[in-house]
Structure 1
Amino acid sequence: MERVLFGKYRLCRELGNGRSGTVYLAYHVELEEYRAVKVVPKSLADYDTFRKEALFLKTLRHPGIPIVYDVEEDTGYSYLIEEYLEGESLYALVKRLGSLSVKAAADLGIQICRIIQFMNSAENPILYLDLQPKNLLVCNGVLRLTDFDHAQYASDAAAFGERYGTIGFAAPEQYTGEPLDCRTDVYAIGALLYFMSRGDAPGSVPEYRNEPEYRMFDRIIRGCMEKEKEARYQSADELQETLQELQNQLKEQAAESRIVVFAGAAAGIGTTHAALGMSHFLTRNGCPALYQEAYDTSAVRTLAKNMGIKTDRTGVYRIGCGSIRPYYGEAVKLPYLYFPVIIKDVGVIRPEEKLPEADFYVLVCGGKWWEIDRTVNAAKILKSRGNVILLFNHMEKKARLKLPKVLSDIHYFFLPFFSNPFREDKAANTCYRDLWNDGTGETRWKRKKLSQRLRRSDAE
């Protein structure tokens, strides 16, 4: 027989039951909408906890918190009628996928922070005190917080005798009887971030990773889960700001730069000159490029000293329209800068040195009889890494060049003489345009368009 509560809520099926009662899916016969109905016996020892939960939910209005439509009662039971949420628990989602990416975990972490900060900063602040993956629902990418059984007004939390929490997610002070505050919830957010990115709850001694893609994220987790409250993020709001900074960095990095590596077959062949010229050519033609020393050649610092220029706050020298960053070493952490193209100058190529990954490699080399052996050896090294182009320097374009068979499938160009890599040069522009188009497979600057622009420049 069909059961209808209070003349309007038709019970459809049981959604779940636990220590504090049973939850049913109900259909509002007049509004034709589904509701979740929590049924709690008045004889229950935790009945006062239920009434407190109902009071919390009635006063809280936030997109991440279910809406309470009504509270009803009869002689034996109380009923909490609230918004029916369709989704998957965070626990089920992570167990199904194994773990979440840093980006996805940070996005959900930001949503959790917003909900908790809303509660912690209410007129009468509320502590949730049981953040764990089974109490969070993911509904079409939006996180919703459920089950407010253990929530407390901050003013009452210190005096509250019985304390609850979930092992692995509860803060140390929930076990020791120390005062609870908003930093107790911050600890649990950190444990959730750990769970999302690892697939398991943190143990008594959480393990942190040192790989670059995880380093900052794990540093944030550590800042949440410090044993001493004073060492943690001091609020969910502060934590949210840090997660947002991480998200911004991830978005910048998602717009990947093209990497072009310039290497020299020998010392003094003109690698730095050629790389600086390429960087400035691209920037002048609407494709901002960063010249970057990949190893310590001291060339950029010597250049800056003799030109009397200093770096800006990002560690970059600005010369004309160009941006030049010297080598600072592995230990120095500089602000992330996005450029569509990064020209990396590795100096003289050496077999023992690890080369950076690149979209294509440019080998600045010589073609004279006494230079060709070094050119061949260097080209073999680069060819094993990817697409390589030879850029012959100190040679005329009309020079007869007979390359060994091993290099017969490698494209090559001749770099014309131009004394200043920071100034525009018509012949150099043509060389760099053809080099770029060959390396990328693009036709970004067609011959006619570039020659027209050069004529305008000459006229000016």
Structure 2
Amino acid sequence: MLERYQLIKKLGSGGTSTVFLAEHRLLHSLRVIKCRSKSKIVNQNSLKESIILSQLHHSRIPVMYDWEEDDQNTYLIMEYCDGQSLKSLIRTRESISEERILQFSLQICEVIQYLHNRENPILYLDLKPDNILVCEHGITLIDYGSARYKDEDKNKEAIAGTIGYAAPEQYSGGILDERTDIYGIGMVMYFMMTGCLFENNCSHIENVDLKGRCSSGVKNIINRCTRENPRLRYQSMKQVILALSKMQKRRTKNNMCKKTTSLTIAVAGVQTRVGVTHVALTFNKYLNQFLGKSLYIERNSSKHCINIINSKGDFILENEVYVSKELRILPCAIGEDNGSESNYETVILDYGVLNDENREEFARAELRLLVVPSKPWEISEISNSIQSILQSFDKPVAVMLNLTSSREYEYVLASKSFEQVYRIPYTPDLLFPSYDKSIWELIYAVLTDLTATSFSKGEKDGWWKKFKSFGAFTKTK
């Protein structure tokens, strides 16, 4: 079987299996191969997991491609989902906002409800941070080795999932049903709130004190999910989803009611490697220095910002935002709202390459910057495509050339490819506290031109007045 695959690396291992990342030699596509030794298989768990996965078709569940065996092992071949485990995410970022916890919890519930609502209901039975991947499109639930059909376990001895996350009835040999997974939802939510990992039977989780960590509404949901007595928990995943949705709508309504003068600026490129992140961070750095608090949000999957943060040691974490003297960065924030954007004068959204998935959100931003290649011959090759993009928006879009020499800029102007184009010249390392007057004057001109054509009279007056008052270049605010 392995002749068809090139093993790339080991992704992890558990008590009965080892998981590898592999590439199909003919299709050149990535796969996950879960290898189990036959000597360690109990009750044909490997085949059972394969049968269950083969029946599931959901965007948050990996696709199963094949199951094979040889004399020593069984092999489950599945879709590779590129993401970070929830456990790793929390350990990296230390904390995440309540808005994002609600978003993740609803996505997990969506998958579990899909399993429970099947004609032959399936219980997942092993909800834990390691089995939850945070991918570009949201949550993906992996590892169905503990999953089983609901009717299969009636009047049978219960099988424990993972110690610390499994429900009390999984330890005591009680009857397992939908409420067992509901307990797991509560434990995962508790982990997202606190970052605590458990090593023992956690029946003591009842009535946890989360004062200062989350709202009373979310605390009540966690406490009800994790009741030791299943009869006192939510009785169906539908009830959990309803409670979470009410909390999410309440927070959204409260955020919409907040008065703010902040301005959103979206940045995207017509292709890769044109310097979108550099442009966005340049705006973030200079607006932080000369206007007021500016937040950069990474709305793409490049993960460039984690490398930037790791390369410089003076970032501190404040409410999910990495803050240095020059920059304020919210990394890896695809499709989410941090909830604190209203605390900033400007919010810079980095979408990476403009595509069908992010185009609508890019268009909704109050100001829009489109980064194009800096070389004249590159522009000439895709000039029609760029014009088509610009004409597809009903509001102005500023065309940006990044790290462009004055000579190249003159060539672009002479080509008359654009009615208006702006140039960001070579800049020193953004992580150093140095500022160039010409760059600030460029940013000031871009925002002045865009706001003049993007807003009707009276819109954003508060932001505009403050912006105009900071027009002069100074070394300090």
Please state whether the residue corresponding to 1:31 is helix, strand or coil: coil
Instruction: Please list the CA deviations of residues 215-266 of structure 1 after superposition, one character each: whole Å capped at 9, or x if unmatched.
Output: 111111112112221221111122112111111111111123449xxxxxxx
Please state whether the residue corresponding to 1:255 is helix, strand or coil: helix
Superposition map of 1:395-434 within 5 A: none
Of 143, 162, 169, 2:165 maps to 169
- Is the CA contact 1:41–1:47 (under 8 Å) kept in the aligned structure 2? no
Q: 1:47 to 1:178 in 2, by over 3 A?
A: closer
Could you tell me the TM-score, scaled by structure 1's length?
0.53
Could you tell me the TM-score, scaled by structure 2's length?
0.51
Distance of 1:13 and 1:98 partners within structure 2: 27
Partner of 2:81: 85
Please state whether the residue corresponding to 1:227 is helix, strand or coil: coil
Distance of 2:185 and 2:80 partners within structure 1: 25
Please state whether the residue corresponding to 2:140 is helix, strand or coil: strand
Answering whether residue 190 of structure 2 is matched by residue 194 of structure 1, we say yes
Distance of 1:13 and 1:258 partners within structure 2: 50
Q: Report deviation, 1:38.
A: 1.3
Q: Report deviation, 1:125.
A: 0.6
- Is the CA contact 2:193–2:213 (under 8 Å) kept in the aligned structure 1? no
Of 70, 73, 90, 1:94 maps to 90
Q: 1:442 to 1:73 in 2, by over 3 A?
A: closer
Distance of 1:12 and 1:212 partners within structure 2: 41
Q: 1:13 to 1:190 in 2, by over 3 A?
A: same
Superposition map of 1:212-361 within 5 A: 214-258=215-259
Partner of 2:146: 150
Partner of 1:110: 106
The residue type equivalent to 1:14 in the other structure is K
Instruction: Please list the CA deviations of residues 347-405 of structure 1 after superposition, one character each: whole Å capped at 9, or x if unmatched.
Output: xxxxxxxxxxxxxxxxxxxxxxxxxxxxxxxxxxxxxxxxxxxxxxxxxxxxxxxxxxx
Please state whether the residue corresponding to 1:65 is helix, strand or coil: coil
| Unmatched runs of 5 consecutive residues or more in structure 2 | 261-457, 466-477
- Is the CA contact 1:40–1:47 (under 8 Å) kept in the aligned structure 2? no
Q: 1:60 to 1:22 in 2, by over 3 A?
A: same
The residue type equivalent to 1:49 in the other structure is N
Report 1 or 2 for greater relative contact order, CA contacts < 8 Å, sequence distance ≥ 6: 2
Partner of 1:264: none
Q: Report deviation, 1:134.
A: 0.9
Answering whether residue 40 of structure 2 is matched by residue 41 of structure 1, we say no
- Is the CA contact 1:191–1:201 (under 8 Å) kept in the aligned structure 2? no
Instruction: Please list the CA deviations of residues 181-223 of structure 1 after superposition, one character each: whole Å capped at 9, or x if unmatched.
Output: 0011001101111110111147514523356951111111112
Query: How many residues are treated as equivalent by the alignment?
Result: 262
Answering whether residue 14 of structure 2 is matched by residue 18 of structure 1, we say yes
Please state whether the residue corresponding to 2:215 is helix, strand or coil: helix
Distance of 2:103 and 2:180 partners within structure 1: 21
Partner of 1:138: 134
Distance of 1:37 and 1:30 partners within structure 2: 16
Partner of 2:350: none
Partner of 2:61: 65
- Is the CA contact 1:114–1:237 (under 8 Å) kept in the aligned structure 2? no
Distance of 2:154 and 2:190 partners within structure 1: 27
Larger Rg, first or second structure (1 or 2): 1
- Is the CA contact 1:20–1:46 (under 8 Å) kept in the aligned structure 2? no
- Is the CA contact 1:12–1:25 (under 8 Å) kept in the aligned structure 2? yes
Q: 1:27 to 1:47 in 2, by over 3 A?
A: farther
Q: Report deviation, 1:162.
A: 5.2
Distance of 2:2 and 2:13 partners within structure 1: 21
Q: 1:41 to 1:205 in 2, by over 3 A?
A: closer
Instruction: Please list the CA deviations of residues 263-312 of structure 1 after superposition, one character each: whole Å capped at 9, or x if unmatched.
Output: xxxxxxxxxxxxxxxxxxxxxxxxxxxxxxxxxxxxxxxxxxxxxxxxxx
| Unmatched runs of 5 consecutive residues or more in structure 1 | 260-435, 444-460
Please state whether the residue corresponding to 2:26 is helix, strand or coil: coil
Q: Report deviation, 1:441.
A: 8.9
Distance of 1:68 and 1:130 partners within structure 2: 19
Answering whether residue 209 of structure 2 is matched by residue 208 of structure 1, we say yes
- Is the CA contact 2:194–2:213 (under 8 Å) kept in the aligned structure 1? no
Please state whether the residue corresponding to 2:174 is helix, strand or coil: coil
Please state whether the residue corresponding to 1:230 is helix, strand or coil: helix
Distance of 1:7 and 1:119 partners within structure 2: 34
